[in-house]
Chain A
Amino acid sequence: MFIHIDNKTYTVKAGKNLLEACLTLDLDLPYFCWHPAMGSVGACRQCAVKVYKDENDMKGRLVMSCMETVTEGLRLSIEDKTAKAFREQVIEWLMTNHPHDCPVCDEGGACHLQDMTVMTGHDYRRYNYKKRTYTNQYLGPLINHEMNRCIQCYRCVRYYRDYAGGDDLNVFAAHNHVYFGREKDGVLQSPFSGNLSEVCPTGVFTDKTLKEHYTRKWDLTMAPSVCNHCSVGCNTIAAERYGQLRCMLNRYNGDVNGYFLCDRGRFGYEFVNSENRIKQALIRSRTNEAATESEIMEHVQSLISMSKVVGIGSPRASLESNFALMQLVGKENFYQGISEDEAHLNRLVVEMLRSGCVHSVSLKEIEQADAVLIIGEDIWNTAPMMALAVRQAVVKTAASQASQEIKIPVWLDSAIKELAQEEKGFLATLTIATSPIDDIATHSWHAAPDDLARLGFAIASYLQPGKIVNTDFSEALLDKAKKIGDALKKAKNPVVITGTSCYNDNVIKAAFDVAVALNTGERKTSFSCVMTECNSMGLAMMGSPSFSVANENIKTNGHATAVILENDVYKHIPSANADEFFNSCDHVIVLDALHNATTEKAQVLLPAATFADGDGTLVNNEGRAQRFFQVIPNTTSQVQESWRWLKKLQTLKLHTLNGHALHPDDLLREMETALPQFEGITNVSPKHDFTIHGEKIPREPHRYSGRTAILANKNVSEPKPFNDGDSPLSFTMEGYKGTPPSGVVPFFWSPGWNSVQSVNKYQEETNGALRGGNPGLQLFKNKSDARDLFFNDVPESFVVAKDRWLLLPKYDALGSGELSSYTAALKTLSPQPFASMSTGSLQALNAKDGDMLQIVDAGIMYGSLPVKADENVCDGVVLVTAGLRESMGMSWGTRVQIKK
């Protein structure tokens, strides 16, 4: 489609609005209320342009470009005098009450309002009356509120209420005293509240954790990173100054997280700066525990050459580190550091996705689904961003139906909302207990895992009769199955989501069967399984036996040295089993970033890098391999990536000279050869020697300040900038200034666009893929000739036992996360550990709400927990908070005894 802008002809995509078209064409046009993810409402009047009837029309008319669809041959002018004057007036009027406190404001330097004011040319304040002022609210430890800066664009409530489904932020009053806030002071309830700081075009909502170590955006050293706190793998930007991680920002990835992050991901970064970090290598049995690198190398070398070595890998360590450990100890001695139950489930998921018979779904595709079925996973709490994507699917399905009905574009947000009213797309949540996402579900049902699996199989059997052999389903179950099955049949792009947190393979098999049964003809069905950690999938794909097997082996063979990689075994394994393991090991060598129960057991402790001070690759639950890059230059401490430690040990062991520098690229190449399932992993990001016109990509913006002063208090002679040989990024402000390849974008910035909105300039089209394709590499390929994998293991229905309860984990969106719980702010929002049971179960135990209960499994006593009665937990099940700072490994999915 051709349109003419200021007498130049451009090609644009049909169906877009004029603002999107202009921004896609790289033309600067100011806007406030429009947001690529939320559409247009035409409220701020900032994006006015002149539109002309035809080439003879000299007068034209002013229109809001965000409210007008592109049409063939349309003539518009951005530069028109009236349009420019109009835009300038609008901003002058928006600024009448703005406090002009940019020096104090946290948004300054990354502020959309600043950018737009400069862009329109408004520079002199003519309104000399008193500005209206507000009282600010306390919105919790994550978000700061400063209402005076507000320009009433309504983006915050549109995001918080309409997009993220929160109900405790609203708009009050009218006219010149509109107020955005809560009904009274209090913590914002949504686990997506952190996005307000990026959604707000100015400094009304800002990141409160950043305030504690505030740094301007231009002063940050930034690097592309990947979130570590759940299996979704959202893309982030990690930002550093003075050797400290200062904040996390969203890094747009059109396939994964888009414009948003959850609060666990955004604020869970502070463990990197934690007091609890391991910074010094230790040899525990000596009088002077601290050891130099050569000492420790020698010591470890003697330990691992003396006896058999067992390597325990980690679901939260990078692929590189896990593989380096596998290389060091040998493939046959490498084990996953997770329980057999979990490893079994993960293997199953890998088998399913590798079969290629259903598509492994990305978050973006979930957003576009027209029916969603969730079986057995509380995604709101285990993978929050996936829950947000499901919410979009549900809301947008109704919206797109509405838009087709009366032919209005989908981006016309308020009109579509008016039309869709409370219409929702189809969502069925079949889970153990209630979850906030149930609010938008068409069907929700809470039952024990086996019963959920049975319903899943019943749906699959309803969709493709005859495929399931045992069909002794009850009438009630069949009725449910029919209702859900019928709704799924109507869909064109249904998605089935499940997860490992039920610790029940039948649940996953049932979900997969539904997806396979649904994947017929025109209908393209996708499948997703949530896992526990950021690299659970990568570790599972390596296909090694579990920790339990390692424990057995060591017990029978005895005499072994264990090398434990970034894994708090006590978080995954019941402590009795872990103790047993450590007691049978001769020596324990631990690599980790934080002190924990496992590092206590270490005779040798090596300081490992976190995501912020090392490079690595993670595979998310979709099978997408993504690279994260070091952002904290490490000049003094011994901290280095685990793979580097392990690789150095290996060269020592093999007596090969460590003549050349080691790059993650080399490691990945070796990995590709050794483990063919990771084919293509070397192409996840540009190689370490990648340059553009001979220049590396700078991690620091060109306005980075204080280079000659930052380190001057330590050493007056300025040291050479830290040399990063591992990646195409450099630790300086010099380098290639254009748009880098999408996987190595360290920050979003464009001339005149200092705020996060500059991401428009990095996309092929607004809300589309990044230029050069979204980063990350999908390791699972869809196969057209795939043999249909189908499972036939319908379990018996769940029977409530008299004195045994099924133990299952209950995660928390903010509190869970081994590492994120080190953020003080998140810790305060985290619940105290508790157990929850149905009133029926409590009666059977003769206990009441608030009593302390003790869980006993096969003679292992767990600490006692207060119990909460929860109507929605089914009888015979006990849910225990998991993943909190205090939580320890439990035998999830087994039947346990409970004592009062």
Chain B
Amino acid sequence: MAQFTEERLAKVKEIIARYPDGKQKSALLPVLHLAQEQFGWLSSETMDYVAGLLQIEPIEVYEVATFYSMYNLKPVGKYMFEVCQTGPCMVRGSEDIIEYIKQKLGIKVGETTADGLFTLKTVECLGACGYAPMMQLGKHYREHLTKEKVDAIIEECRRNAAANN
């Protein structure tokens, strides 16, 4: 059973308080982000829980969560490579980078590695065209990607994961 931590519940209350009475539905997007932060992805159970918190029908949550590509509706790996595939990055070779990551991790776009560490996603422009090709990893941009850099990033992630366990 999905359940927010105390701390997050307080945050939810704070977010709901931003909106007029009876309009708690407006808090849906930030609350879903909170949920994704805690659970990694949005299962239908999680979304039902959020619906309960905001006193709305589950279908209203599903409708919103499915609309935005930044909510993960399937489990994702610990590290998510969101590689930009829009024009400028493409010109600078993002396709090769995507192909290389696919080969290196043995997954297709949208898939997660068997060890649950990596997910590869392609995204549209992240506004860092000057540093193309680039990708987003967590909250950070990784820029001027080359095959070597990708190797290094993957290595770094693996190290971090090992260290944290």
CB of A170 within 8 A of CB of B67, answer: no
Chain A residues with Cβ below 8 Å from B68 are: 174
Chain A residues with Cβ below 8 Å from B69 are: 174
User: What separation, in Å, do the CA atoms of A284 and B53 have in the docked complex?
Assistant: 67
CB distance from B48 to the nearest CB of A (A): 9
User: What separation, in Å, do the CA atoms of A179 and B60 have in the docked complex?
Assistant: 14
User: What separation, in Å, do the CA atoms of A284 and B66 have in the docked complex?
Assistant: 65
CB distance from B7 to the nearest CB of A (A): 29
Chain A residues with Cβ below 8 Å from B66 are: 172-174, 179
User: What separation, in Å, do the CA atoms of A898 and B131 have in the docked complex?
Assistant: 81
Chain B residues with Cβ below 8 Å from A184 are: 44
Determine if A298 is an interface residue (Cβ-Cβ < 8 Å): no
CB of B59 within 8 A of CB of A173, answer: no
Determine if A168 is an interface residue (Cβ-Cβ < 8 Å): yes
CB distance from B22 to the nearest CB of A (A): 10
User: What separation, in Å, do the CA atoms of A578 and B35 have in the docked complex?
Assistant: 64
Quick one: closest B residue to A183, CB to CB? B59
CB of B57 within 8 A of CB of A173, answer: no
User: What separation, in Å, do the CA atoms of A173 and B67 have in the docked complex?
Assistant: 4
User: What separation, in Å, do the CA atoms of A167 and B57 have in the docked complex?
Assistant: 9
Chain B residues with Cβ below 8 Å from A173 are: 66-67
CB of B62 within 8 A of CB of A183, answer: yes
Determine if B148 is an interface residue (Cβ-Cβ < 8 Å): no
CB of B67 within 8 A of CB of A174, answer: yes
Determine if B115 is an interface residue (Cβ-Cβ < 8 Å): no
The interface bits of chain A over 159-181 (1 if a CB of B lies within 8 angstroms of the residue's CB, else 0) are: 00000000110111110000100
Determine if A524 is an interface residue (Cβ-Cβ < 8 Å): no
CB distance from A831 to the nearest CB of B (A): 22
Q: Which of A172-213 contact B (CB under 8 A)?
A: 172-174, 179, 182-184
Q: Which of B56-83 contact A (CB under 8 A)?
A: 57-60, 62-63, 66-69
User: What separation, in Å, do the CA atoms of A174 and B69 have in the docked complex?
Assistant: 9
Chain B residues with Cβ below 8 Å from A172 are: 62-63, 66-67
CB of B59 within 8 A of CB of A182, answer: yes
User: What separation, in Å, do the CA atoms of A182 and B58 have in the docked complex?
Assistant: 10
* A side interface size, CB within 8 A: 11
User: What separation, in Å, do the CA atoms of A179 and B59 have in the docked complex?
Assistant: 13
The interface bits of chain B over 34-62 (1 if a CB of A lies within 8 angstroms of the residue's CB, else 0) are: 00000000001000000000000111101
CB distance from A152 to the nearest CB of B (A): 14
What are the nearest 6 A-B pairs in CB distance?
A172-B66, A173-B66, A183-B59, A174-B67, A170-B63, A183-B62
CB of B67 within 8 A of CB of A167, answer: no
User: What separation, in Å, do the CA atoms of A173 and B68 have in the docked complex?
Assistant: 7
User: What separation, in Å, do the CA atoms of A170 and B61 have in the docked complex?
Assistant: 11
CB distance from B5 to the nearest CB of A (A): 26
Chain A residues with Cβ below 8 Å from B57 are: 167
Further 5 A-B residue pairs, CB within 8 A, beyond A170-B60, A183-B62: A167-B57, A170-B62, A172-B66, A173-B66, A173-B67
Chain A residues with Cβ below 8 Å from B63 are: 170-172
User: What separation, in Å, do the CA atoms of A391 and B58 have in the docked complex?
Assistant: 24
User: What separation, in Å, do the CA atoms of A171 and B44 have in the docked complex?
Assistant: 16
Chain A residues with Cβ below 8 Å from B67 are: 172-174
What are 20 A-B contacts defined by CB distance under 8 Å? Answer: A167-B57, A167-B59, A168-B59, A170-B59, A170-B60, A170-B62, A170-B63, A171-B63, A172-B62, A172-B63, A172-B66, A172-B67, A173-B67, A174-B66, A174-B67, A174-B68, A182-B59, A183-B59, A183-B62, A184-B44
CB distance from B28 to the nearest CB of A (A): 14
CB distance from A319 to the nearest CB of B (A): 46
Chain B residues with Cβ below 8 Å from A182 are: 59
CB distance from B47 to the nearest CB of A (A): 9
The interface bits of chain B over 111-144 (1 if a CB of A lies within 8 angstroms of the residue's CB, else 0) are: 0000000000000000000000000000000000
User: What separation, in Å, do the CA atoms of A182 and B59 have in the docked complex?
Assistant: 7
User: What separation, in Å, do the CA atoms of A183 and B58 have in the docked complex?
Assistant: 8
User: What separation, in Å, do the CA atoms of A794 and B58 have in the docked complex?
Assistant: 47
Quick one: closest A residue to B67, CB to CB? A174
User: What separation, in Å, do the CA atoms of A183 and B59 have in the docked complex?
Assistant: 5
The interface bits of chain B over 14-35 (1 if a CB of A lies within 8 angstroms of the residue's CB, else 0) are: 0000000000000000000000
Chain A residues with Cβ below 8 Å from B44 are: 184
User: What separation, in Å, do the CA atoms of A174 and B67 have in the docked complex?
Assistant: 5
User: What separation, in Å, do the CA atoms of A653 and B94 have in the docked complex?
Assistant: 96
CB distance from A162 to the nearest CB of B (A): 14
User: What separation, in Å, do the CA atoms of A778 and B89 have in the docked complex?
Assistant: 72
Chain A residues with Cβ below 8 Å from B60 are: 170
CB distance from B143 to the nearest CB of A (A): 27
User: What separation, in Å, do the CA atoms of A393 and B57 have in the docked complex?
Assistant: 26
Chain B residues with Cβ below 8 Å from A174 are: 66-69
User: What separation, in Å, do the CA atoms of A170 and B62 have in the docked complex?
Assistant: 9
Quick one: closest B residue to A172, CB to CB? B66
CB distance from B109 to the nearest CB of A (A): 15
CB distance from A543 to the nearest CB of B (A): 50
User: What separation, in Å, do the CA atoms of A183 and B66 have in the docked complex?
Assistant: 11
Most buried by B among A168, A179, A183: A183
Most buried by A among B44, B59, B68: B59
Chain B residues with Cβ below 8 Å from A171 are: 63
User: What separation, in Å, do the CA atoms of A172 and B63 have in the docked complex?
Assistant: 5
User: What separation, in Å, do the CA atoms of A172 and B62 have in the docked complex?
Assistant: 7
Quick one: closest A residue to B58, CB to CB? A183
User: What separation, in Å, do the CA atoms of A182 and B66 have in the docked complex?
Assistant: 13
Q: Which of A99-128 contact B (CB under 8 A)?
A: none
CB distance from A140 to the nearest CB of B (A): 16
Quick one: closest B residue to A173, CB to CB? B66
Q: Which of B84-122 contact A (CB under 8 A)?
A: none
CB distance from A418 to the nearest CB of B (A): 16
Quick one: closest B residue to A179, CB to CB? B66
CB distance from B78 to the nearest CB of A (A): 25
User: What separation, in Å, do the CA atoms of A171 and B63 have in the docked complex?
Assistant: 6
Quick one: closest A residue to B22, CB to CB? A422
CB distance from B75 to the nearest CB of A (A): 18
User: What separation, in Å, do the CA atoms of A408 and B82 have in the docked complex?
Assistant: 45
Quick one: closest B residue to A169, CB to CB? B59
Most buried by B among A172, A174, A179: A172
CB distance from A158 to the nearest CB of B (A): 14
CB distance from A755 to the nearest CB of B (A): 29
Chain A residues with Cβ below 8 Å from B58 are: 183
CB distance from B68 to the nearest CB of A (A): 8
Chain B residues with Cβ below 8 Å from A179 are: 66
User: What separation, in Å, do the CA atoms of A184 and B59 have in the docked complex?
Assistant: 9
CB distance from A481 to the nearest CB of B (A): 28
CB distance from B151 to the nearest CB of A (A): 33
CB distance from B27 to the nearest CB of A (A): 18
Quick one: closest B residue to A184, CB to CB? B44
User: What separation, in Å, do the CA atoms of A167 and B66 have in the docked complex?
Assistant: 17
User: What separation, in Å, do the CA atoms of A287 and B42 have in the docked complex?
Assistant: 72
Quick one: closest A residue to B57, CB to CB? A167
Chain B residues with Cβ below 8 Å from A170 are: 59-60, 62-63
User: What separation, in Å, do the CA atoms of A656 and B82 have in the docked complex?
Assistant: 92
Q: Which of A127-174 contact B (CB under 8 A)?
A: 167-168, 170-174
CB distance from A175 to the nearest CB of B (A): 9
CB distance from A82 to the nearest CB of B (A): 28
CB distance from A43 to the nearest CB of B (A): 16
User: What separation, in Å, do the CA atoms of A168 and B69 have in the docked complex?
Assistant: 23
User: What separation, in Å, do the CA atoms of A14 and B30 have in the docked complex?
Assistant: 47
CB distance from A512 to the nearest CB of B (A): 38
Quick one: closest A residue to B64, CB to CB? A172
Quick one: closest B residue to A167, CB to CB? B57
Quick one: closest A residue to B68, CB to CB? A174
CB distance from A182 to the nearest CB of B (A): 7
CB distance from B65 to the nearest CB of A (A): 9
CB distance from A186 to the nearest CB of B (A): 11
CB distance from A203 to the nearest CB of B (A): 23
Chain B residues with Cβ below 8 Å from A183 are: 58-59, 62
CB distance from B41 to the nearest CB of A (A): 16
User: What separation, in Å, do the CA atoms of A173 and B71 have in the docked complex?
Assistant: 11
CB distance from A154 to the nearest CB of B (A): 13
CB distance from B89 to the nearest CB of A (A): 20
Quick one: closest A residue to B69, CB to CB? A174
